């Protein structure tokens, strides 16, 4: 539930009331602060709330965004409306605070508006900053729709579209464009020799490459782009020039952890990811956990892995609430479970068994049909309206 409690009202209007500078929600119970209301954040907040613990979820935007469904909006802008999901029904007792955490210590989190949230345990789940169009640049539904509409028009009118980055996002984006605009010249550029990345078998990348080529996409692997990621034409390190009217950046995200640098710079690895113990506790900081894309483990950055982290953190926080030591451990996954749709009817899946099993179009279709949007609404215990909901 989003609870505009008296305390929250006071925090929102600090001049109107006298309250301590640092707010502790749930003062009769140990208080848990989850930072970031994305895939793993909502999973954990809901699980802890369900078992009766006191949870505050603080997150940047007032509505959850289902990034897994985002790329279809590049060709069907109205699609984005249903990807914004209210947090109202997520928790029964806990609360969701809209705000951006700008610094964190072992005891409190400071938000951009000056609000300070105290906690007994905090969980860092701030995910990745991903470039548009994989994630809108705004948390507001109308603005996001306008942003995707403008892109859809540019894609429609472009003669040549180049996509930089042959990971799952670049592949899925190429598939959406090829599916919606058969015959459109689309070039996918990837720096390594195989598509998708190192947590899947080479057969998986090869299978997706074959399917893309069959749908008219030109796939160039082993090419290093040296021009800016939105610049036309695209210049390659070997001197080649790839003509394009529109260049789309699908090179992946960077972790949202800058806010940790002032107080907790010691927890970050050189890539800016949080170093955790197998219990998902932040190294040398017993009151802090981290999960999801921000974690420094060498494993796929996927919602599937993020949710596996959340389950371990939930067990360990439950143990802590009973005065026990954290015992649940996460073993980093070296192989990914992955479904990559190519438009609404094709794609492939990679199963992380026997070195990686590749399944064909029917598996891609499982995700491609609705990009799991209805599952996202169920995850937040929200009822999906016909026309989606608005964010603020
Ligand atoms: C286009 C696309 C398709 C994908 N498809 C799949 C798929 O099919 N399967 C799969 O398993 N994975 C997929 N992924 C990956 C998956 O979305 C991520 O791995 C997953 O969302 C990571 O979860 P998380 O909880 O770490 O962070 P996120 O889900 O990224 O959530 C982080 C949250 O923290 C908030 N936040 C950030 N900074 C702050 C701050 N300072 N203060 C407060 N809040 C903050 C953000 O606004 C966001 O709500 C896809 C990703 C993209 C972009």
CATH of the domain at 234: 3.50.50.60
C-alpha 38 – ligand 1 centre gap (Å): 5
C-alpha 44 – ligand 1 centre gap (Å): 14
> Is position 330 within any domain?
no
Residue in this structure with the two tokens 């796939």, named with its chain if needed:
219
Q: Which residues pair with 58 in a beta bridge?
A: 35, 97
Kindly give the parts of the chain with pLDDT less than 70: 1-28, 387-392
> Is position 67 within any domain?
no
User: Distance between CA atoms of 340 and 300, rounded to whole angstroms?
Assistant: 14
Shared domain check, 152 and 276: no
Shared domain check, 237 and 177: yes
Shared domain check, 345 and 240: yes
pLDDT in tens, 184-235: 999 999 999 999 988 999 999 999 999 999 999 999 999 999 999 989 999 9
Shared domain check, 289 and 161: no
With beta carbons less than 8 A apart as the criterion, state whether 73 and 89 touch: no
- Confidence (pTM): 0.92
Ligand 1 first shell, C-beta below 6 A: 35-41, 58-61, 67-68, 70-71, 100-101, 125-128, 130, 134-135, 169, 256, 259, 292-293, 301-304, 306, 339, 367
Shared domain check, 235 and 351: yes
Shared domain check, 261 and 146: no
> Is position 80 within any domain?
no
Shared domain check, 19 and 168: no
Predicted confidence at residue 271, as pLDDT, reads: 96
Predicted confidence at residue 28, as pLDDT, reads: 57
- Domain residues for the domain of 46 are 2-60+99-130+253-321
Q: Which of 295, 321, 347 is the last residue of a domain?
A: 321
Helix (H, G, I), strand (E, B) or coil at 129: strand
With beta carbons less than 8 A apart as the criterion, state whether 196 and 204 touch: yes
> Is position 223 within any domain?
yes
Predicted confidence at residue 24, as pLDDT, reads: 58
Measured by CA distance, the residue closest to atom 29 of ligand 1 is: 38
With beta carbons less than 8 A apart as the criterion, state whether 327 and 316 touch: yes
Q: What number does the ligand 1 atom closest to the CA of 294 have?
A: 26
Shared domain check, 45 and 171: no
Shared domain check, 369 and 339: yes
> Is position 285 within any domain?
yes
Predicted confidence at residue 25, as pLDDT, reads: 60
> Is position 358 within any domain?
yes
Shared domain check, 193 and 341: yes
Domains: count for the chain: 2
Residue from 67, 129, 168 whose mutation best tests the ligand 1 pocket (most atoms within 8 A of CB):
67
């Amino acid at each position: 539930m989003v609870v505009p409690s008296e305390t929250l009202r006071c925090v929102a209007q600090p001049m109107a009331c006298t309250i301590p500078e640092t707010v502790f929600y749930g003062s009769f119970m140990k208080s848990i602060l989850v930072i970031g209301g994305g895939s793993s954040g909502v999973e954990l907040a809901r699980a802890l709330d369900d078992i009766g613990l006191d949870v505050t979820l603080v997150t940047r935007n007032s509505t959850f965004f289902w990034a897994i469904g985002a790329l279809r909006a590049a060709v069907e802008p109205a699609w984005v409306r249903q990807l914004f999901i209210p947090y109202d029904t997520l928790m029964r007792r806990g609360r969701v605070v809209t705000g951006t955490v700008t610094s964190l210590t072992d005891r409190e989190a400071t938000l951009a508006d000056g609000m300070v949230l105290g906690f007994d345990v905090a969980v860092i789940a701030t995910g990745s900053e991903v470039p548009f169009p994989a994630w809108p640049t705004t948390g507001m539904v109308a603005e996001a729709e306008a942003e995707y509409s403008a892109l859809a028009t540019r894609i429609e009118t472009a003669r040549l579209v180049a996509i930089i980055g042959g990971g799952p996002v670049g592949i899925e984006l190429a598939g959406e464009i090829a599916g919606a605009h058969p015959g459109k010249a689309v070039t996918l550029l990837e720096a390594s020799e195989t598509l998708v990345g190192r947590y899947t078998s080479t057969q998986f990348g090869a299978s997706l490459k074959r399917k893309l080529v069959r749908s008219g996409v030109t796939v160039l692997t082993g090419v290093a782009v040296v021009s800016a990621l939105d610049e036309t034409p695209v210049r390659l390190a070997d001197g080649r020039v790839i003509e394009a009217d529109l260049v789309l950046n699908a090179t992946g995200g960077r972790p949202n952890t800058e806010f940790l640098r002032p107080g907790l710079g010691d927890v970050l690895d050189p890539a800016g990811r949080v170093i955790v113990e197998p219990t998902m506790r932040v190294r040398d900081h017993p009151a802090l956990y981290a999960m999801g894309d921000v974690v420094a483990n060498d494993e796929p950055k996927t919602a599937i892995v993020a949710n596996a982290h959340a389950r371990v953190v939930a067990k360990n926080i439950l143990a802590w609430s009973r005065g026990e030591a954290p015992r649940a451990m996460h073993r980093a996954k070296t192989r990914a479970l992955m479904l990559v749709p190519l438009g609404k009817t094709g794609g492939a899946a990679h199963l992380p068994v026997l070195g990686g099993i590749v399944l064909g179009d029917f598996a891609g279709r499982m995700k491609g049909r609705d990009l799991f949007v209805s599952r996202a609404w169920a995850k937040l215990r929200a009822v999906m309206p016909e026309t989606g909901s608005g964010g603020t």
